[in-house]
C-alpha cells in the first residue's frame, strides 16, 4: 500500500513538473516579445494537401531578420525551424478547408511559402498575418523579398 501511494505521488509530481516546464519554456520564449501563435506544415506537396495531416502547433518569434518557430509540445530550448527573411517567398494565401479546419485554430488563415526551395505553410491569425507580411516587406534595401499574396 505504501509503495503504491509512493509511486502515485511520484507520477503526479512528474506530471506537475512537466506541465510547469512547458509553461516556463513558453514564458521564456515570449519574454523578449515579438511572438505569435503559428502552426507550421513543412515540405508540403506542390498540389496542396488539405487533409489536415502534418500540422504542428507552435509559437513563432521575430529575431532580427529571422523568424524562429518553436513547437509548443516540446522541451527543447532551441527553435525547431528558423526562417530567414531574405529566403522567404510568399506563394499564396487561403483559408483552411475540410479536415484542416479541425487541425488548426478557428480564426487562422494559411500562408503558402517557399523557403530555400522547400514548400511550407504557416497558419496564423489575421492580425499575425498582417504583422508577418509587414515584417517581410520591411526588409533592408538590397534584399529581395517576394510578397505576392492574393486576397
Does the pLDDT value for residue 126 go beyond 90?
yes
Q: Does 151 score more than 70 pLDDT?
A: no
DSSP string spanning the chain? -HHHHHHHHHHHHHHHHHHHHHHHHHHHHHTTS-EEEEEEEES--TT---SSTT-EEEEEEEETTEEEEEESS---SS-SEEEEGGGEEEEEEE---TTHHHHS-TTEEEEEEEETTEEEEEEEEHHHHHHHHHHHHTPPTT---EE----
Q: What percentage of residues in the chain have a pLDDT greater than 90?
A: 52
Q: What is the pLDDT of residue 76?
A: 83
State pLDDT tens for residues 39-75.
999 988 766 566 778 899 999 999 989 999 999 888 8
Amino acid at each position: 500500500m505504501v509503495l503504491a501511494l509512493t509511486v502515485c505521488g511520484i507520477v503526479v509530481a512528474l506530471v506537475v513538473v512537466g506541465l510547469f516546464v512547458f509553461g516556463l519554456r513558453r514564458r521564456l520564449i515570449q519574454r523578449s516579445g515579438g511572438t505569435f501563435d503559428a502552426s507550421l506544415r513543412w515540405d508540403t506537396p506542390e498540389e496542396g494537401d488539405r487533409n489536415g495531416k502534418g500540422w504542428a502547433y507552435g509559437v513563432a518569434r521575430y529575431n532580427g531578420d529571422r523568424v524562429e518557430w518553436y513547437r509548443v509540445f516540446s522541451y527543447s530550448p532551441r527553435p525547431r525551424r528558423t526562417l530567414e527573411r531574405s529566403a522567404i517567398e510568399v506563394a499564396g494565401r487561403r483559408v483552411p478547408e475540410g479536415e484542416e479546419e479541425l487541425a488548426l485554430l478557428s480564426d487562422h488563415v494559411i500562408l503558402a511559402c517557399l523557403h530555400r526551395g522547400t514548400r511550407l505553410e504557416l497558419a496564423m491569425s489575421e492580425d499575425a498575418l498582417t504583422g508577418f507580411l509587414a515584417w517581410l516587406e520591411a526588409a533592408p534595401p538590397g534584399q529581395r523579398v517576394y510578397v505576392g499574396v492574393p486576397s
